[in-house]
Structure 1
Amino acid sequence: MRFLSIIFLTLFLFNCKAQNNVIQSKKQETVILNANPKLVVGIVVDQMRYDYLTRFYNKYGNGGFKRLINDGFNCKNNHYNYVPTFTGPGHASIFTGTTPKNHGIIANYWYDKFSKETVYCAGDSSVLAVGSDSESGRMSPHRMKTTTFADENRLFTQMRGKTIGISIKDRGAILPAGHSANAAYWFSGRDEGRFITSTYYMNNLPKWVEDFNTSTTAESYLREWNTLYDINTYTESGSDLNSFEGGFKGKENATFPYDLAALKDKNKGFDIIKATPFGNSIVADFAIQAITAEQLGQDNFTDVLTVSFSSPDYVGHNFGVNSKEIEDTYIRLDKDLERLFKVLDAQVGIGEYTLFLTADHGAVEVPAYLQSVNIPAGYFDKDELKKQLNAFLVNEFFASDLIESISNDQIFLNKSRLKELKLDLNDVQYAIVNEVINYKHIDKVYSSQTMQNATFTAGIEALLQNGYHQKRSGDIIIVKDPAVISYSKTGSTHGSGSTFDTHVPLLFYGNGIKKGSTLTKTKITDIAPTISALLGISFPNGTTGNVLGFVID
């Protein structure tokens, strides 16, 4: 009997220990799961060259860009690994972890070979605007073929983790948030001055959005735009009065100050706010309101907030890389970032959120300015290209209608006409390549056959191939000389594979992120898999980038 009692006691103690181990294991598992950030914030600055971090560094405060640089991880050699470097493809690539070759957003607008019309990357005629009567609200992510890390987080959390996308531009809000987002909001200017969405997401705006729209926030930014500090201290940019800037209608010179209230009627009403630093401010205002109203980061399911600051792109296109206006825009953006970070600290908690900041592309110095200081640059006439090429095709193939469209430095051929004339596609492509390479300001020309059949691992050819989508891209791809653009002679633009367009900031900060920096080359497509790895979720389904393990703590 005593022997049996000993056996029973031993079994009882063993069972208790086993149960305790299970409990401890479950506790440990809970701790690991709860260690994930409560909120991931993805910030994109539209048209931000990497050197804006270093060039304006001494003008920044300690709570914005410098906070991310000094307390986060700075990838100093971060690049786009495809062309064209436009807003739509940039935002899609950041959040999908792949390039236009896979996600299909090959430009902002492109010629559709099937419908025979130009389509917009976020346009969707099957949905309606919500909060607006304009066509500008008929938008969705339906043309993006792959998921974003925000989509994967929604799937992982059984749709409990929220996703909200915010921007001045519709594509800047829609593409990052992905297909399964709770909402994407963008700013409708003209005579509206309000944030809107589409029926893809909801049928009515939430009360907090309506309240924001009926407030005087938008009107309050129709104010004077002058430099934040004494203009004489803006020594990191060129003279205020020069011949390389566009300016606003109704004002003779592109010089400070700008009376936005007086200029708005000649500059599309509330749209004028977009082309000033105050466009960033209203996006920060709206994002702060969203954090509170949507209770982002307030439970154990990771939420995602995407914020795209589009105004630097409008300012850059208008005034150029070297302008006082772009310097003031970034000094003021630094203040808006600090404001946003303080709200995240207070509402979500320091150490409870993970944040990254990058850009959708850089920008070229105004070519006219470069020419004035003897640096090779120039302007390319697309109409002259079409005229020369048509003359060649008439002479070579006795036909003047072989080209359907020329857009985004791509030539689309009329396949039905080629078939009618019994012309071989490869022969026509080869002839055009050998003709166009002789034109002024053309550096390289490639056919779709080359993009489909060759494998490139470096150089502009690899960038072109990563940006080439077999079903959507054209038959001939043109590469212009460096710093040669098809644009006005005032203001900056982008889109090339040159480093002034590909080299952009990449800063990680917060929960799970190490402090430090690297000069190792990183790619824009590495962001999404890195965030996915940090969250322990599936990578977006088209991911081609790599996890940047050295940034994860």
Structure 2
Amino acid sequence: MKIKYIVCGLLLLTVGASAQTKGKVKAAPAPAGLPRPKLVVGIVIDQMRWDYLYRYYDRYQAGGFKRMLNEGFTCENTQIDYLPTETAPGHSCIYTGSVPAIHGIAANEFIIQATGKQIYCTDDSAINGVGTTSIAGKMSPRNLQATTITDQLRLATNFRSKVIGIALKDRASILPAGHTPTGAYWFDDTSGNWITSTYYTNDLPAWVKGFNEGTTLKNYLSKQWTTLYPAETYVQSTADNSPYEGKYRGETAPVFPHDLAAISRNNFYGAIRSSPFGISFTLDFARTAIENEQLGKHPETDFLAVSLSSTDYVGHQFGPNSMEVEDIYLRLDKDLAAFFSYLDAKVGKGNYTAFLTADHGAAHNPKFLMDHEMPAGYFNPIAVAKELNAMLEKKYDAKNLVLEIGSYEVNLNNPLIEEKKLNADVIKFDVINYLQKLPGVLYVVDCQKAQMAAVPEWIRTRIINGYNPEHSGSIIVILKSGFYGGAMNATGTTHGTWSPYDTHIPLLFMGWGVQHGSLNRETHMTDISATLAALLHIQVPSGCIGQPIPEVLKK
């Protein structure tokens, strides 16, 4: 029997050696132990409406979005589970599988209800920037009150897996990377550097310093943004010189070409954000991270969380019907194709898992809709807050009882209400009664009583999921479809509402462990991290309320 086992063992060793030899030619070997991909790449496209997958489909090339659709799995009806639909809650939800009620990131900026103090989602005054002396470096994930899928991977491998977060926006790098990453890096407009904070390290790695010292940023900012294809072929867009679009500084009209050298003069490095070159710049940095951190080359699975922010800046400025938005998605598709080809060569096709989604969508510009006889309009939160304070001051002899209306939530001045021994419930009743009469307002809901509110269940659930008693305003304003917060005739677009154009996002998976196919039943942003946990055979994040999407995964 012993001889039999020895012979079998030698045969296995021979077969294994042969397989490894072949692997050097075709693809890198799979990780040892539990089958997992060598690398997970999470790609979040900031402000990508679901319909952009198909609006420009005929102009996409084979290797970008079409590759994910034709080789991978697409969930065609993925919905955001909460309100408001903003960048910080979106990135938090994708990676925690949770909602603001649990993970605490109630908005990009929110007010601590007990003190009335406003705080940015990743502010951390206890630490300092690394690579910069500006306040842009004083950031960390400490306000995030749940673990992420990236945290769970680190825990599952006893911190042997490497996790890197990268984005131009600090919040889009920090929140996905979680509490325990190998590194998180974001762009600093003041220095023109990729930076981090002392939460992660006391010194930038040599490879980050080398990238910052190079000419990559300078080269991009010396370019003109011209259309990728002849202007007359942009049939999915309005005319180039449109009244619905915003201009760059120094421009007389919002038209191509856009001269980045002129826009970025006097060391305005932030100009890179609102151009397609911001995407290329981010992916250049991501490749440098893969090379130098050797992501995908370790026995354990590594994770790269990259968010592409420039689509949001361009979308806000120009709106979804602009040639600029059409062009940035055509260029994004080209950049994705090149990035996937790089991953094929570096990590091995079939050895990595990629997923692509968005943190929120975007509305059509209300003036554009009104000019086309569609229901739409504006709700000006600053003006309405002033009107409310005037009304409340007259009744209660107290100034500034409303701190602000932000993210469609009314933040009351709770310290002042307590100091003057006023009845908060009566004040809320007055505020709700006033707001309900305003044009464009569909519902006004006391968030603490949302369960009993006479609103559609789809909206009610999202109010409940989005309400965090510590960080959310006590009253939420639900606008009619087509309306959003802004001054009358504001250019560009925004997001944040309950409507499908803000809540319906793309969700695609591709690569190791992923079936080819599509799904039209409703799935949720909270399901993303649960699906990744099932793929990786690890625990879901601590606040996760999502479910795995079984159709995505190979049996």
TM-score of the two chains, using structure 2 as the length reference: 0.92
Cα distance change, pair 423–298 in 1 and its aligned pair in 2 (3 A): same
Q: Post-superposition shift, 1:434? A: 2.1
Tell me how far apart the structure 2 counterparts of residues 387 and 454 of structure 1 sit (CA, whole Å): 26
What corresponds to 2:545 in structure 1? 544
Cα distance change, pair 532–456 in 1 and its aligned pair in 2 (3 A): farther
What corresponds to 1:35 in structure 2? 35
Tell me how far apart the structure 1 counterparts of residues 454 and 158 of structure 2 sit (CA, whole Å): 39
- Please tell me whether residue 199 in structure 1 is matched to residue 198 in structure 2: yes
Cα distance change, pair 210–368 in 1 and its aligned pair in 2 (3 A): same
Tell me how far apart the structure 1 counterparts of residues 400 and 236 of structure 2 sit (CA, whole Å): 50
The answer to whether the 8 Å contact 1:111/1:405 transfers is no
The answer to whether the 8 Å contact 2:129/2:198 transfers is yes
Amino acid at match of 1:157: T
Report 1:177-196 matches (<5 A): 177-190=177-190, 192-196=191-195
Report 1:343-358 matches (<5 A): 343-358=342-357
What corresponds to 2:163 in structure 1? 163
What corresponds to 1:467 in structure 2? 466
The secondary structure found in structure 1 opposite 2:235 is coil
Q: Post-superposition shift, 1:401? A: 4.0
Tell me how far apart the structure 2 counterparts of residues 484 and 455 of structure 1 sit (CA, whole Å): 21
What corresponds to 1:65 in structure 2? 65
Amino acid at match of 1:240: D
The answer to whether the 8 Å contact 2:116/2:415 transfers is no
The secondary structure found in structure 1 opposite 2:476 is strand
What corresponds to 1:504 in structure 2? 505
The secondary structure found in structure 1 opposite 2:264 is helix
What corresponds to 1:389 in structure 2? 388
Cα distance change, pair 64–436 in 1 and its aligned pair in 2 (3 A): same
Report 1:269-308 matches (<5 A): 269-308=268-307
The secondary structure found in structure 1 opposite 2:471 is coil
What corresponds to 1:112 in structure 2? 112
The answer to whether the 8 Å contact 2:31/2:299 transfers is no
- The count of aligned residue pairs is 534
Tell me how far apart the structure 2 counterparts of residues 55 and 241 of structure 1 sit (CA, whole Å): 21
What corresponds to 1:316 in structure 2? 315
Cα distance change, pair 236–401 in 1 and its aligned pair in 2 (3 A): closer
The answer to whether the 8 Å contact 2:226/2:258 transfers is yes
Tell me how far apart the structure 2 counterparts of residues 128 and 70 of structure 1 sit (CA, whole Å): 45
Report 1:144-155 matches (<5 A): 144-155=144-155
Q: Post-superposition shift, 1:103? A: 0.6
Which range moved further: 297-306 or 432-441? 432-441
The answer to whether the 8 Å contact 2:447/2:463 transfers is no
Report 1:325-344 matches (<5 A): 325-344=324-343
Q: Post-superposition shift, 1:457? A: 8.6
The answer to whether the 8 Å contact 2:381/2:406 transfers is no
Cα distance change, pair 211–14 in 1 and its aligned pair in 2 (3 A): closer
Percent identity of paired positions between Structure 1 and Structure 2? 44
Q: Post-superposition shift, 1:384? A: 2.8
Structure 2 runs not aligned, ≥5 long: 17-29
Amino acid at match of 2:530: P
Tell me how far apart the structure 2 counterparts of residues 263 and 419 of structure 1 sit (CA, whole Å): 49
- Please tell me whether residue 212 in structure 1 is matched to residue 207 in structure 2: no
Deviations 1:501-536 (A, max 9, x none): 001100001100000001111100000010001101
What corresponds to 2:20 in structure 1? none
The secondary structure found in structure 1 opposite 2:133 is coil
Amino acid at match of 1:155: L
What corresponds to 2:495 in structure 1? 494
What corresponds to 1:74 in structure 2? 74
The secondary structure found in structure 2 opposite 1:221 is helix
The secondary structure found in structure 2 opposite 1:66 is helix
Deviations 1:109-139 (A, max 9, x none): 1112234321000111111111111111111
Cα distance change, pair 214–31 in 1 and its aligned pair in 2 (3 A): closer
Cα distance change, pair 83–395 in 1 and its aligned pair in 2 (3 A): same
Deviations 1:332-366 (A, max 9, x none): 11111111111111111111111100000000011
Amino acid at match of 2:105: I
Amino acid at match of 1:109: E
The secondary structure found in structure 1 opposite 2:74 is strand
Amino acid at match of 2:169: K
Amino acid at match of 2:377: G
Cα distance change, pair 368–196 in 1 and its aligned pair in 2 (3 A): same
Amino acid at match of 1:492: T
Cα distance change, pair 269–419 in 1 and its aligned pair in 2 (3 A): closer
Q: Post-superposition shift, 1:31? A: 8.4
What corresponds to 2:46 in structure 1? 46
